[in-house]
Amino acid sequence: MSVKKRVIILVVSLLGITGFIVGVSYAFFSAGGVQGTANTFTSGCLNISLTNESTSIHLTDVYPITDIEGLETTSYDFTVKNNCNSSANYQINLESLNEQVNSLNADYIKVSLSSDTVDNVISTLSSNTSLTPTIDNAYESYNLYTDSLNANEEKTYHLKIWVDYDATVEQAASKVYQSKINVIANPETTIVDTLEAKFNLEDKTITSTLTDNVTSASYCVTENNICSPNTSATISNNTYTVELEGNENKQMVCTKLNGTSKVICSNGVEVKPLCPEGASACNTILAGKNIDDSRSGEITGTLEEDTTGTVYSVADDWGTSYVFAGAPTDNWVRFAGYYWRIIRINGDGSVRMIYSGEDTGEITDANRVGVSTQIGTSVYNSSSDDNAYVGYMYGSTGASSYASTHANTNNSTIKGVLDNWYKTNIVDKGYSDKISTEAGFCNDRKTQSGIWSGYGNLGYGANATGYAPAGRLISNGSWKSSQTPSLKCSQIDDYFTVSGSSKGNHKLTYPVGLITSDEVVLAGGFGGSSNSSYYLYTGEYYWTMSPFDFYSAGYAGVFSVDSNGCLDGDGVYWTAPGVRPVINLSADVSITGGSGSSSSPFEVAT
């Protein structure tokens, strides 16, 4: 009796975008994909779904790279689950679509497929078994992997694609490529290769754990592309070890098990942990997250889509921050009788959060939008006729120097509001031991000319002055199309910390502040553009602590987020904007429960 194939298609669009190599005037093949929402495909009792709702391959401005570099690119993750009551075999195929005159040849495409039990199975796409395509508009199909699942078992796969390092300009320049992953569940499928190999790196020794009862394998070590395993491995207890020359040289160990046709490779470069040692909350919050670096450098617009499961790596004063952006549903925290949204995990492992309303036992729309998301409204400073008033703290008014103007001797009005709230709601209620005394808040008062015509960089008295946070977003009076937010505070006097911190100015009484304009842009806002879809939108105006300018008409301005979610500058004397406290949970706090969703926010141990 024949068994009808059950075909399940999981789509990843790989679109051609022009890329460049410095010094070579040829455009190389580039690919990019966007998967905005989760897809789930079901046929019979086999199920295939995206692991994360926005996980996708992010390959832009791509040129030929080595296999070692290819393994460092972002993966496209998907899960195969067998809901049947019996085992099922399946094939994972990659089908090329929409053939054009300038389609990139499969000979120059490298692919890597890995899972929880198998490290990177690397191959040139054309070296895989060729099959008859089954997807509309597909012109070729290659079998990347064949496996089976027991009843009620599931396995997550990670696919990476790059351009072969050996591709020449003639072979890869100005090419395009589209493809789809095609998972075919078929009980009649024959499993040719039983592949199981995991690698573990300790110092310069790689230990490979193999499939049970493997009696022979060969390996090779390369510093560039995939190599042909030709050295016999000495196997003991289903493992063998390889001594590398040194981690400073990027090396890769490739293995071929006896009787198999595929080569399994692993980078011989030690993977640094995302979180510092002892940063318990960081480890819990980042567990299972996709790390994306696409928000480092230039930002070209708002981010509105659901980004649940993804955080964005950006350099900060401590190392690397992991930023929540767009419309994530997994950055809710319940702490000290209030709800909070996580802005980022700081480089020191502390957790930076913005106030989002009282804990009434259930997160509602009142915790997302409206006046309940702030502790009240306030002017930033009650006076505004001097450059000094852009400061979270400030010096002398009417002074004739930048240093005197921006000395940290006087509290701003808004700092007083935050200090009073913090003492009442954090200190007096016994929560202060959960707050970081290391991480600080940047009130970047570095001056910058060229932002607006006629504005200089004196920064004192009533001199028209532009400030660096605005300079990263504005040029010659217009919002930049490419904005360059930064999480690094360039001047020590502007990095507000308490006395116990190893960094900053040690001028804070309490470790509380406001969000910065840079954090707003990284979170999905954009200077001059509305965004009602990202998590910082509340439908209300509220303050940041980033200086904007001293206006030529005679008043100091600071950035705020307006009622459309748009980042803009406002006079410090304005009474309408709200106050949303920002605090940093200590790196060593424990998360005792929750998943970060609105129905199950992270719970901080008390």
- pLDDT, position 50: 43
Q: Reduced to 3 states, what is the DSSP secondary structure of residue 519?
A: helix
Average pLDDT over residues 458-486: 97
pLDDT at 18: 30
Q: Residue 588 pLDDT > 50, yes or no?
A: yes
Strand order in the sheet with 76-82: 40-43, 46-50, 76-82, 154-163, 109-115, 120-124, 263-267, 252-257, 217-222, 231-232
pLDDT in tens, 293-311: 899 989 999 999 999 999 9
For residue 222, the Cα-to-chain-centroid distance in whole angstroms is 30
* pLDDT reported for residue 14: 40
Q: What is the mean pLDDT of residues 59-69?
A: 70
CA-based R_g, the chain, Å? 27
Indicate whether this model's pTM tops 0.85.
Answer: no
3 state SS of 69: helix
Task: Look at 165 and 247; give whichever has higher pLDDT.
Answer: 165
- Could you say which DSSP state residue 126 is in? G
User: Rounded CA gap, 54 and 330, in Å?
Assistant: 13
* Mean of per-residue pLDDT scores for the chain: 84
pLDDT bracket for residue 126 (50, 70, 90): very high
Q: Is there a contact between 156 and 236 (Cβ–Cβ < 8 Å)?
A: no
